[in-house]
Amino acid sequence: MPPDRILALMVTLLALTAGCEKEPAAAAPGAWGGAANVVTQRVQLQPMVDEIQALGTARANESIEIRPRVSSLIERVFFDEGQLVNKGDLLVELENSEIVAGLALAKASLSESQSLYNRSKLLADTQAISAANLEQLLAQVHVDEAQVEAARARLDNTVIRAPFPGRVGLRRVSPGSFVSNSTVITTLDDVNTIKLDFSVPETFFAVLSDGMKIAAHSLVYPDRVFTGTVASIDTRVDPVSRAVQVRALIPNGDGALKPGMFLSVDLQRDRGEQLLAPEQAIVPEGSNQYVFVVADGVAEKRSVQLGRRIPGFVVIDSGLLPGEAVITEGTHKVRDGSKVQVPGQASADSRSGPGRT
């Protein structure tokens, strides 16, 4: 090829190369020089309620086995099985003829000793009886008075009365049966209020408090909730189970709950309103926790103190104010002071309300 044509071809190639050079690329979204697309959500105050679930056993508010204090025969029975009784109602009367006779004998001895003492006291003024003998007669009067009181107490023990209001159980004796202090005549339970005993792990001990509301459920009544309050908390934690015993009181006016029933318990403690932020907004750096707060299109890196966690959210103890918008998606694209944009922010606000931006 002639030299002049070679030179012309080289000039043409250089011109084509210069014409094919690309223009400088615009900054890509998300680069430090441009606004990154992010998703934000506003943190809001929300009511917080602690809930604990436990298993417990129902017990009567008061429960005893009716036993006699003296050995004798059953004279009469004054109650029916399952009957509601009041405090002081007569339940059983024992045969007491021997005790009545003993009381009469004690009264007679007391009358004799008092009479002898009174006559001797008149003679003491004339020194016909010594002071020592008079004191001995007075001591005998006191002994006889004590024996009368003991006989009256034995007689009172032949009458068995209800010590508190409640419902009697099955009758286990019949009139004419011989009973002793080891014989169970019947049972008496006060079930107008039920005591519910259950255990709570020590990790939840700080949540418990006297007067705390509970909700109990029974398999016998699947559609019913029994409400009550915590009455007392044991002073010791079981070193084996690492749990503390709790007792709650449940009103039981209709008698639906029976002693010994198995119940599941839900405890609730109102912690008031807490500031909640989405978990995905938290940016951990070492031992510190941060969030990016968006205001006027600019991201601000903010240190926060975290509280307890609940599914999907974390309590913010400090570092944020209610209503502030935090980045939940796109935190890896921004740094402190970065410009950001929230696609569809206006429409998102109108759709999701105050909890979402």
Q: Reduced to 3 DSSP states, what percent helix, strand and coil does the chain have, rounded to the nearest 5?
A: 25, 45, 30
What's the CA angle centered on 80, arms 74 and 82, to 5 degrees?
125
**C-alpha to C-alpha distance for 40 and 43, rounded to whole angstroms:** 10
Confidence of residue 11 (pLDDT cuts 50, 70, 90): very low
Q: Does domain 96-157 have CATH number 3.40.50.300?
A: no
Percentage of the chain modeled with pLDDT above 90: 45
What are 126's two structure tokens? Answer: 């004339």
pLDDT tens-digit series, residues 61-97: 999 999 999 999 999 999 999 999 999 999 999 999 9
Q: Return the pLDDT at 94.
A: 95
Mean predicted lDDT score pLDDT of the chain: 83
Q: Does domain 36-43+282-355 have CATH number 2.40.30.20?
A: no
| Mean pLDDT of the region 192-202 | 91
Residue 185, amino acid: I
Confidence of residue 342 (pLDDT cuts 50, 70, 90): confident
- Phi, psi of 285, rounded to the nearest 5 degrees: -140, 100
Given a contact cutoff of 8 angstroms between Cβ atoms, the answer to whether 228 and 197 are in contact is no
> Residue 17 pLDDT > 70, yes or no?
no
**C-alpha to C-alpha distance for 355 and 43, rounded to whole angstroms:** 7
Residue 319 CA from chain centroid, whole number: 33
| Mean pLDDT of the region 1-9 | 50
Residues of the chain with CATH 2.40.420.20: 36-43+282-355
**C-alpha to C-alpha distance for 352 and 101, rounded to whole angstroms:** 91
pLDDT tens-digit series, residues 282-331: 999 888 999 999 988 888 899 999 988 888 888 998 888 998 999 888 88
| CATH architecture, range 68-94+158-184 | Beta Barrel (2.40)
Higher pLDDT, 128 or 89: 89
Residues of the chain with CATH 2.40.50.100: 68-94+158-184
Q: Return the pLDDT at 57.
A: 93
**C-alpha to C-alpha distance for 250 and 167, rounded to whole angstroms:** 17
Higher pLDDT, 261 or 29: 261
pLDDT tens-digit series, residues 134-157: 788 889 999 999 999 999 999 999
Percentage of the chain modeled with pLDDT above 70: 85
Fold of 52-62+190-272: Elongation Factor Tu (Ef-tu); domain 3 (2.40.30)
Residues of the chain with CATH 1.10.287.470: 96-157
Confidence of residue 350 (pLDDT cuts 50, 70, 90): very low
Find residue 52's DSSP bridge partners.
267
